[in-house]
Amino acid sequence: MGYKPRKRNTVIQLRPRNISYEEGGRTITLLSMNRENMDLEVEIKEGGESKILTNFPFAHLPKKIKKEINPL
């Protein structure tokens, strides 16, 4: 028997929380976060185009958004 620690999911889905912010004329929407390497999957809308980045660093987020996510 013994204690079996609860396994935490390494990927947090942020899409249902609808977290987005504007920076330099672009809208950045957070989709998911990988807790192991602290990378985000984001959708960047600039003008009429949108693209998805899978390795957006958590450190590049504004403090207000970091507090809202609270990864720990």
Could you give the CA distance from residue 31 to residue 28 in angstroms, rounded to a whole number?
10
- Judged against a pLDDT cut of 80, whether residue 1 lies above it is answered with no
Across the chain, mean pLDDT equals 88
Q: Could you tell me if 72 and 64 are in contact, meaning their C-beta atoms sit under 8 angstroms apart?
A: no
Q: What is the pLDDT of residue 72?
A: 56
For residue 50, pLDDT over 80 is answered with yes
CA dist 52 and 20 (Å) reads 14
Q: Average of pLDDT values for 15-38? A: 93
Helices (H), 1-72: 63-69
Closest CA to 43 of 62, 57, 26, 60: 26
User: How far is Cα 59 from Cα 17, in angstroms, rounded to an integer?
Assistant: 20
pTM of the model: 0.81
**Residue 8 binned pLDDT confidence (cut-offs 50, 70, 90):** confident
